[in-house]
Structure 1
Amino acid sequence: MSYTNKQVCIPPELPELLKQFTKAAIRTQPQDLIQWAAEYFGAVCRGETPPGREWSEPVASSNCAELTPELLKALHSRVGGRLIIHVSELAQMWKVLRLPIDMFNSVMAVGHFTEEIEWLKFLTLACSSLGVTISKTLKVVCEVLSSDHDCGPARIPFSTFQFLYKYIAEVDGEISASHVSRMLAYIEQEVIGPDGLIKVNDFTQNPRVRLE
């Protein structure tokens, strides 16, 4: 089929969109242009500020954002449900949110992560910098992972909670495996309802649940 006699209609917003994309790409000089372009237009679709030079350059510590549950939730959203993520991609996302590079390196060291990172483990260690105690850390993790948008308490699948509690207790090194097993057995038998979900209040307000 020939298109020589058909008039091509250029969307009015296309020239400006391509202009802004080109300027951002020139400023940023990304190593992987295709991947960077996907992130750029993904941000545009989500209504977020498209990336500029800060996506490819280290952020000065004085310009870093303070780590918050909201920023960790934004980071979790960028990971997009994947269980494994490559260190270079995660580092790029971390820089996009202007989070402290030294904290990223610290989490990498504590978790002994290499090229392929188990996302939930990384997230849990990042949350530990906000939670201090194991109970508070798991509270932050639940708030980050919860997909509930109402005003109720954050909640996640109990199976996920089990995985996270066992991992953070192992990293902590001061809680016996038998104590962890007893707590999980009690929660599963006495606390968890038929929906299989655990709420923050189930382990922060119940006096019989002592995670530490």
Structure 2
Amino acid sequence: MPLPEALFSAQQINIPPELPDILKQFTKAAIKTQPCDVLQWAAGYFSALSKGEPLPVKERIEMPSAVEETDTSLTPGFLQVLHQQLSPKGTVSVTELKEKWRNLCLPDEQLEVILQLDDFGEEVEWMKFLALGCSTLGESLLNSVKIACKILTTEPGPAAPITFETFSFLYSYLANIDGEIAEEEREAFLHRIKEQADQQSGMVLLRNFLTQPSVLF
């Protein structure tokens, strides 16, 4: 009985010319993002790649502190990835948010805690979720707004400028959730910030509010 012909030969195996670059970019993305579950994250990565959607990739490696060394919870870098993926839609379904969240290997219970901070239904206004996500990362209202500015700015750097309208929304929303600052004080604070923003083409810089009375944060 004659031996069967080889199933594959060098001529039969077709390697797409773009495959090496795809694998190279995937490897670099995994190194920058450092997912705790590479398989789960890879599924989200290639799903987004096939659909032409923003990839679940951090801009740079986040160096954890000694306390966070084994932590797999939300970080500013992960929140920025979610912002890149979901902010263009304005309002997102909880189902899609959960999918993107799990693709980053983040704990479901932390997402539930954030969602319970407001009366969300099946749809989530992204900017509100971003603000609440920042509030879980910052130890104070000041730190929460600082994190949001660094995520939202289009000019990375120490100034982290964002529009006054965006700053006003974030601050007012988080201050209302917090409930510790009187409305008159909030309005007076925002008035001072707007005066400074008007001198910066309507942009709020980090240093604009770092010098404000700490009671407002």
Instruction: Kindly indicate whether residue 110 of structure 2 is the aligned counterpart of residue 97 of structure 1.
Output: no
Q: Match for 2:187 among 181, 195, 198?
A: 181
Which of 143, 159, 169 lines up with 2:175 in the alignment? 169
Per the TM alignment, residue 154 of structure 1 is displaced from its structure 2 partner at its CA by 1.2
Alpha carbons 1:73, 1:144 under 8 Å: kept? yes
Give the corresponding residue for 2:166.
160
Aligned residue in 2 for 1:144: 151
Deviations 1:92-151 (A, max 9, x none): 1111111121110011111121111010111111111111211111001111111224x3
1-side partners of 2:198 and 2:208: how far apart?
8
Alignment of 1:39-58 (within 5 A): 39-42=48-51
The yes-or-no answer on 1:211 pairing with 2:213 is no
Is there any run of 5+ residues in structure 1 with no aligned partner, and where?
1-10, 21-26, 29-34, 49-62
Q: Per-residue CA shift, 1:128-185, capped at 9, x if unaligned?
A: 1111211111001111111224x34212111001011111111111111111100001
Equivalent pair of 2:91/2:125 in contact (CA under 8 Å)? yes
State the Cα distance separating 1:39 from its structure 2 match.
2.3
Match of 2:162, SS? strand
Shift of 1:202: 1.3
CA distance in structure 2 between the aligned counterparts of 1:190 and 1:197, rounded to whole angstroms: 8
Alpha-carbon distance change, 116 to 36 in structure 1, aligned in 2, over 3 angstroms: farther
Aligned to 1:70: 77
Larger displacement relative to structure 2 (185-194 or 113-122): 185-194
Whether the 8 Å contact between 2:55 and 2:85 is mirrored in structure 1 is no
Alignment pair present for 1:132 and 2:132: no
SS of 1:81's partner is helix
Q: Distance in 1 between matches of 2:56 and 2:178?
A: 39
TM-score, normalized by length of structure 1?
A: 0.69
Q: Unpaired segments of 5 or more residues in structure 2? A: 1-13, 24-38, 58-69
Work out the CA distance in 1 between the residues paired with 2:122 and 2:53.
29
Q: Aligned residues: percent identity?
A: 28
**TM-score of the superposed pair, with normalisation by structure 2:** 0.68
State the distance in 1 between where 2:15 and 2:170 align.
49
Q: How far apart are the structure 1 equivalents of 2:104 and 2:196?
A: 40
1:126 and 1:45 mapped to 2: Cα distance? 20
How many residue pairs get matched? 173
Contact 2:54–2:84 under 8 Å retained in 1: no
Distance 1:166 1:96, change over 3 A: same
